Structure formats: structure tokens, C-alpha cells
Amino acid sequence: MNRSLFIGTSDRTQAGVAGDANVFARFVAGAWLHWLLVFFAALALFATPLQMMRLVEVFSEPVRLGISAICAIGAGGFALLFHRRFPKALGGLFAALSSVRVWQVVVFGLVLRVVWIALFPAQAGSDGAVYLGLAERLAQGGAYEAGGTKAYWPAGYPLFLVPWVAIFDDPRTAYLASNLVLFVVGAFGVAALARFLAGERAGNFAALLFATWPNLVFLAGTPEKEVLVLALLPWATFWMLAALNRSGRGLSVFQAGLLLGACTLVQPSLQFLPFVAAILLVGSARQMRVGFAQALLVVLGAALVVAPWTYRNYLVFDTPVLVATNGGSVLYRANNPLATGGYIPHGEIVLANMDEITQDKEGRRLAMEWIKENPSRFFGLLLEKQIRFMGDDAVGVYSTFKVGGAEGDPKLYAILKLVANAWWMFVWMVIGCLALISRSKVFSAQSFSVSVVWLWLYLFAIHSVFESAGKYHVPVLWVPCVLLAVLLSVSADRWVLRR
């Protein structure tokens, strides 16, 4: 496991900088992050049964809350009861499965996705249909416009799809081919990141989790912008950590910035990540001038990708628009008297009759005004949004059958959702258990091993304010793959390899 990402106490040169860096390290990569993992695990184990009961409309809400609490407490009790045997058994399983090579994992993952696509052929629907339509329009030389709006829909995914649509005559074949390629890119990125953090076996196992994760397999048959972010973010994180450890090439941090810029074009809620990365680089630098130089490179890389589209928006609207004009209206739908925590078609005040720039500005104003006037209601919605974020991992089933129109028995639909969410709960239970066991024995503040959880926390925080649902954690579904691989790698070392 790589343990040299921060300055060690034996480094006595530039003591003040080293001391500051170690304080910073204890915050961004310290043992307290294990408690954060335990929190996410407990929330997933509580929220998932709750959301499933809400879906089938059984019991009253107080009864649902009670049953969900019992599920979470029961899972925690099981983990504590078997906290010694559990890691040992999983460590043995990890030792066996982590011997599978990444390329073999990728081939297996491709087979799973091709089988899913063949068994349940779906069509583009909802947002995916809009993005695909925009890509087709651009490929034919048309303007970027949908429903009378010129920047409401983020441009990253349609721009990515343009060459695919140009190559393939059939739009469905175009996005299916792109999905398969993105899976390969993402799998190798997840493997590279986990390998960097905890060694070869962790890389193999993380890739295997990524390849077989039910929700990710189920998303293979429909056009979803999240699959593009899924492929890019692991590589951006890997290049960032390589720069921090000085084991990457000199421009690795710039490459990370380019990918973060691309992710911002796809999903504007990620626009703050380049600045978060810049703070990380400065705070952990051995020399301030190096840290500031790297921070400048990561922000510059992101800006170079985003700026052309921002300039295009300025020419169109004669006012600055970074990526898209939907932020204000989405914020207002999530924070108004009618808000539920999830998607609603409009707020108490309908903004649809305004132009998109006015919608954006007025939506932000109305949302902030309502939040200031209703802090208790806002806090209640915040908790509900967090439950929705962690309470379902079966959007792939919904996208295939309900949105994509794939044929299937209602019982099969329910079974597939149950399988996806059972996997989700089990993974988080194991992560929580292993994090609790190893919080003070294995990891130190000088290791970035579990700090990828910050990416999860970032979107968790964003969607505690904006509308929320299980689909919003899909861009970071690689994070639990990496976390479980890293934690199991440590367990394997302690329980199996050192017997």
C-alpha cells in the first residue's frame, strides 16, 4: 500500500511546511474518514429498505421508518457479532478473486453487458432521448437547441456522442457501442486507482466489482450521461493522487484538470471539483510554490475544456453562462413549498413561461429566498434528500424497463430491483464493518487509501440541497468499488496472507 502521499515526520526540512501538511493530511486522509464510511453504510442500510417499502406502498410511514431502523441496527449488530470471522472469510474470498487479471475482468464485464442488451433491448427515453437528439442534430450540422432552449441541457454528453452518431447509421447502435467502450475505459481507470492505493490485488478486485456491479450492468442498454463521468472520474482521481505522490509524470495534474473540465461539461454540479483539487494540492505540498503551480495547472486544464463552451454561451446569450442554464430552475424545484426531495415538474411558481436565462436567475432567487424563510423545512428536505441519495441503486432497471420500454414481466422487474439493492446494501455493510475494524490499526494520516470517499461526499452534499435520487450517486459508483478493494486488501494481509 502506498504510504508516502504526505510528508513523514522524519522529514525535518522545511519543518513549518511539513507540519502544516501533516495537519492538512489528518483532515483529508485521516482515520476519521473511517467513521464517515460507517455513517454512509448505516444510512444505506436504513434508507434502502425505506425506499423499497415506499415504492410498493406498504405500511404507514412511521412503520416503514421503524422497520428500516431495525434493518440498519440488525446489520450493525451482525457486523459487530462476527467482526472477527467476517473479515477473515472475506479476506479469503478476496485472495481468490483478486488473482483474476484486469483484462479478463473487462472481457467478462463486456459479456455481461452484451447479454443484458440482447435480453432486454431498450430505446432512448426521457433525458437520454434529448441528449441523443442533440447529438444527432450536431452531427447533421444543426444548432445546439432542444425545445427552444440553447443551453438548458449540459453539452458534454451530446458532444461526446457526435462522432459515434456520425460513424454508425443507427443512433441506438451508436450509444450502445459508446457505452461498451466507456465501460472498458472506466474499468481500467478503477483498476489503476485501486492498484495505486493498495497494490495489484486491490486493482484486480476493484475492476471485478466495477464489471459485475448490477446497477452498472443494467445501465448498459440506455444512453446515460452518468456513464461518461463514470469512465473519466477514476482517471482524474488517479492522476491527481499520482501528482501528489510525485510518482506520476509532470503533467499528470494537468491531465486530471482536463478530465475534471470534461466532467463539468457533462454534469455541471461537478464544477467545483477543480477548485477542491487545487486546495488539496496546495494544502499537501512539500513546497508552497510547487503546490500553487500544480493548483494552477489543474484549474487551467479544466478551464481549457470548459471555456470554449462558456464563450459560445456568451455569444448566444450576451451574458456569462458557465455550462448550462438549468441550475436555477432545478434548485427552485428542490427548494419550494411543493418540494418533496426528488424530482417534481415545477415549483409553486411556474417558471416555464420565462426565457431560460430568466428562469435560471429567478429560480436561484426564489430558492434562496425560500430557504432563508423556511430553515426548518429546508433541513427536513435535506434529510429526505440524503435518504433518497443512499436509498436506491437500481436506476438501471428503471431506465431499461420503465423509460426504455424493454419488455419484461413485472415480477422480473421487481426481482432485478431487489437484486441490485441487495448487492448495494451488502457492499455498504462490508465497507462499514471493515472501516470500523481498521480505523486505527492499519491506516494512517499519511495514506490516501480511503480518501476517495471525498468524491462520494461531494455529490452527497450537492444533492442534499438540489433534488436527489439514487441515480445521482451513479457517477461515483466506482468509489465503493475502490473502497471495498482497499479495505479487503488490508484484511487479506492481516487475516490470510500472514497466517
What does the pLDDT look like over 282-308, one tens digit per residue?
888 777 888 899 999 999 999 999 999
- Specify the range with the lowest mean pLDDT, choosing from 129-143, 387-401, 432-446: 432-446
Q: What is the pLDDT of residues 185-235, one digit of tens each?
A: 999 999 999 999 999 999 999 999 999 999 999 999 999 999 999 999 999
In this prediction, residue 20 carries a pLDDT of 52
In this prediction, residue 87 carries a pLDDT of 63
The pLDDT of 23-29, averaged and rounded, is: 79
- Which run of H or of E encompasses 388? helix 375-390
Domain that holds residue 84: 15-123+183-324+391-495
Q: How many domains does the chain have?
A: 1
Which of the 8 DSSP states describes residue 1?
A: -
In a domain, 319, yes or no: yes
Which of the 8 DSSP states describes residue 246?
A: T
Q: Give the other-Cβ count within 10 Å of 479's Cβ.
A: 25
What is the pLDDT confidence band of residue 11, given thresholds at 50, 70 and 90? very low
What is the pLDDT confidence band of residue 347, given thresholds at 50, 70 and 90? very high
In a domain, 240, yes or no: yes
Instruction: Tell me which of 5 and 434 has the higher pLDDT.
Output: 434
Q: What is the pLDDT of residues 156-171, one digit of tens each?
A: 999 999 999 999 989 9
What is the pLDDT confidence band of residue 387, given thresholds at 50, 70 and 90? very high
What is the pLDDT confidence band of residue 18, given thresholds at 50, 70 and 90? very low
Rounded Cα–Cα distance for residues 288 and 305 (Å): 26
In a domain, 362, yes or no: no
In a domain, 347, yes or no: no
Rounded Cα–Cα distance for residues 400 and 218 (Å): 7
Q: What is the pLDDT of residues 58-82, one digit of tens each?
A: 899 999 999 999 999 998 888 777 6
Q: What is the pLDDT of residues 427-456, one digit of tens each?
A: 999 999 888 887 655 444 346 788 899 999
In a domain, 192, yes or no: yes
In a domain, 377, yes or no: no
In this prediction, residue 83 carries a pLDDT of 64
End-to-end CA distance of the chain: 19
Which residues on neighbouring strands pair with residue 146, listed in sequence order? 149
Q: What's the whole-number average pLDDT of the chain?
A: 90
- Specify the range with the lowest mean pLDDT, choosing from 209-223, 232-246, 327-341: 232-246
Rounded Cα–Cα distance for residues 336 and 338 (Å): 5
Instruction: Yes or no: say if 470 and 391 are a contact pair by the CB < 8 Å rule.
Output: yes
In a domain, 112, yes or no: yes
In a domain, 63, yes or no: yes
Rounded Cα–Cα distance for residues 242 and 250 (Å): 10
